Amino acid sequence: MPNREVIIGLEVHAQMNTRTKMFCGCDNDAWEKEPNTTVCPICMGHPGTLPAPNREAVAKAVRTALELGCTVAPTCHFDRKHYFYPDLPMGFQISQYDFPLARNGIVEYDKPPSPTAVGEGPGVGATQHCRIHRLHMENDAGKLTHVGPKTLCDFNRAGTPLMEIVTEPDLRSPGEAVAFAQELRRILIAVNASEADMFKGMMRFDASISLRERGTEKLNPRSEIKNLNSFKALERALAYEAERLERLWEKTGAPLPGNITVGWRDDEGCTRVLREKEDAQDYRYFPEPDLPPLQCTAEELEEIRKGLPPLPRTQRQEYVRQGLTPSQAQMLLDSPQIQRIFDAVLGHTKDVRKASGIVFTQLLGAAEKHKKGLHELPAPSAILDLLDLVASGAISGNAAKGVLEEMVQTGKPAEDIIAAHDLGQIADEGELQRIVEHALAANPNAIAAFRNGKTQALGAVVGWVMKETKGKADPAKVNALLQKALNPSP
């Protein structure tokens, strides 16, 4: 596209990881549950029932809004958004319309490599910005499954708390849209507002795209791609639609005459026009009469702000500053389980190289070898127990590698594995002393060489001891005992 640029804005729906649903006490975790088992008269919209806002969901949405740099409204309210669809029990969605929870945020993310650049060219990783237009809360609809001529309805998801996050049209390529969306996902996870598990549909995108001539400021009518469920789909759909709009402009000599809504066909790799005119929908918004306005005082916001974690991007830069590679730092931010383990190990060893060797090489190597998922890794405390045993001299650092692998493989604690394989180091000083005396008698040539000034000859004696004890002696201690025996202090 020589003289036209792509303008992209996103609307993101993120499922909040609360214990209960948005307006009732039903279990919010519907994953792999029998259909229509996590429902009640409130989320099924029975007449006469009253919704009650979920305090935890509001708190999570506020945390997210603040982490995104938004201004949280001192007061806001819910609205009814009416439309008819079989997966919407109440006949309306409880959402927020003209007074959303928060507005005007900004997300910094790393500039992605351009699709034509080879490797990580200049500018990759530089700071890019995408402004957040608004963030509001709403409840989710149920789920329809089409089976032949029939449609099955599962209302387990109906009433699940969602955050809708809308960006300004600040993104300039499909790659930027994905890089921003991935950063947003990390932020949602960091503030513990959403699991943001794409596979489970916990984060979904609607992407708006339009073209304009470079150097012009006016926004042209846009095409909105509905319901993209993965980063891959987001990128492919945007790339497809950008090219389609470009060809259309070439053909008609003008941008789109009006807004359109399209659907992405993942299997066919193309979009289909769903609606020509965007204002065809009239949701008849009006304030939800069953819910009072929400109030947030400045003091409450300040209290929440104090408890916020650092931004993932700041954390990533800090890991890199400490000596991790950018991809290792990224991996920690994308895998909270590994991050928790790494932080614990780093806190224990106070040595980034050592910690990265233990976590990235030994631990993740063992996980891959034994085909263990991240959720099956030993707990940070179990790994620290092992490091304590090494630090106290109970086992050697070398033996610890095998123990860690077996911990990953079997999930057993370090102590059990050490006992089962009799890996403990000889801790008894008297026993070590006897072995050292035995070594002195058994290696007369090396001892003679040492006495003649060949200090390195002592290594052979230490080696003999290690072999004799099957590696269960502490080489540093053996060395010290040998030195003491050969150079009696004055």
Q: How big is the CA angle at 266 (ends 93 and 183), to the nearest 5 degrees? A: 65
Return the one option of Mn ion, Zn ion, none that residue 478 interacts with (CB less than 5 to 8 A, by type): none
- Separation between Cα atoms, residue 390 and residue 407, nearest integer Å: 15
Report the nearest approach of Zn ion to the CB of residue 32 (Å). 18
**Number of chain residues interacting with Mn ion (CB under 5 A):** 1
Output 41 or 221, the one with its CB closest to Zn ion. 41
Residue 376, amino acid = E
User: 69, 105 in Cβ contact below 8 A?
Assistant: yes
The residue type found at 236 is R
Angstrom CA distances, 170 to 72, 99, 295, 475, stand at 21, 23, 31, 61
**Of Zn ion, Mn ion, none, which one sits near residue 26, judging by CB under 5 to 8 A according to partner kind?**
Zn ion
Q: Which does 400 bind (CB under 5 to 8 A by kind): Mn ion, Zn ion, none?
A: none
Give 164 or 288: the residue with its C-beta nearer to Mn ion: 164
Phi first, then psi, for residue 325 (nearest 5°) are -75, 155
Out of Mn ion, Zn ion, none, what residue 301 binds, judged by CB under 5 to 8 A for its kind, is: none
Q: Phi first, then psi: give them for residue 401, nearest 5 degrees.
A: -60, -45
Residue 79 touches Mn ion, criterion: CB under 5 A = no
Two tokens, residue 357:
């060797």
Site string for Zn ion, 9-38 (x = CB under 5 A): ---------------x-x------------
Given CA atoms 28, 29, 32, 34 in this order, what sign does their dihedral have? negative
Q: Least distance (Å) from Zn ion to the CB of residue 155? A: 9
Interaction pattern, residues 108-147, with Mn ion; x per rule: CB under 5 A? ----------------------------------------
User: Nearest CA to 316 among 123, 108, 121, 130?
Assistant: 108
Query: Does 235 interact with Mn ion (rule: CB under 5 A)?
Result: no
DSSP 8-state assignment for residue 156: T
Nearest residue to Mn ion, scored by beta-carbon proximity: 164
Cβ neighbours of 452 (radius 10 Å): 8
Residue closer to Mn ion, measured from CB, 164 or 195:
164
Distances 249 to 9, 12, 217, 375, 410 between C-alpha atoms, Å = 20, 28, 18, 49, 61
Residues between 343 and 402 that touch Zn ion (CB under 5 A): none
Q: Which is nearer to Mn ion, 167 or 315 (CB)?
A: 167
- Among Zn ion, Mn ion, none, partner that 59 touches (CB below 5 to 8 angstroms by kind): none
> For residues 40 and 485, which CB has a smaller minimum distance to Zn ion in the complex?
40
Rounded Cα distance between 437 and 431, Å, is 10
Nearer to Zn ion, 42 or 234 (CB): 42
Minimum CB–partner distance for residue 158 and Zn ion (Å): 8
Q: Please, are residues 73 and 97 in contact by the beta-carbon 8 Å criterion? A: no
CB of 111 to Mn ion, least distance (A): 29
Neighbours of 310 (CB within 10 A): 12
DSSP-assigned letters across all residues of 428-450: -HHHHHHHHHHHHHH-HHHHHHH
- What secondary structure does DSSP assign to 293-312, as a single string? PEE--HHHHHHHHHTPPPPH
Decide which of Mn ion, Zn ion, none touches 163; Cβ closer than 5 to 8 Å per partner kind: none
Identify what 40 binds: Zn ion, Mn ion, none; CB under 5 to 8 Å per kind: Zn ion
Q: How far is CA 178 from CA 231, 316, 321, 447, 460, in A?
A: 6, 18, 25, 67, 59
Tell me, what amino acid is at 77? H
- Which of Zn ion, Mn ion, none does 435 bind, CB closer than 5 to 8 A by kind? none
Sign of CA dihedral 418, 380, 369, 326: negative
Which 33-62 positions form the footprint of Zn ion (CB under 5 A)?
40, 42-43
In the complex with Mn ion, which residue's Cβ is closer, 110 or 140? 140
Number of residues forming the site for Zn ion (CB under 5 A): 5
**What are the structure tokens assigned to 276, written together?**
């020509």
- Measured from the CB atom, the residue of 43 and 400 that comes closer to Zn ion is 43
Which one, 43 or 209, has the nearer CB to Zn ion?
A: 43
Q: Which does 418 bind (CB under 5 to 8 A by kind): Mn ion, Zn ion, none?
A: none
* Least distance to Zn ion, CB of residue 43, Å: 3
Q: Which of Mn ion, Zn ion, none does residue 166 bind to, with CB < 5 to 8 Å depending on kind? A: none
Q: Please choose which of Zn ion, Mn ion, none residue 164 contacts, taking the beta carbon within 5 to 8 angstroms, the exact cut-off set by kind.
A: Mn ion
x/- map, 155-194, Zn ion, by CB under 5 A: ----------------------------------------
30/400 with CB nearer Zn ion: 30
Q: Which residue type, as a one-letter code, is found at position 408? A: V
For tokens 């992209």, the residue is: 8
Beta strand segments in 111-233, E: 127-139, 143-147, 150-154, 161-167, 203-213, 223-228
Residues in region 72-101 near Zn ion by CB under 5 A = none
Residue 164 found at the interface with Mn ion (CB under 5 A): yes
Measured from the CB atom, the residue of 135 and 237 that comes closer to Mn ion is 135
Minimum distance, C-beta of residue 13 to Mn ion, in the bound complex (Å): 6
Residues engaged in binding Mn ion (CB under 5 A): 164
Residues engaged in binding Zn ion (CB under 5 A): 24, 26, 40, 42-43
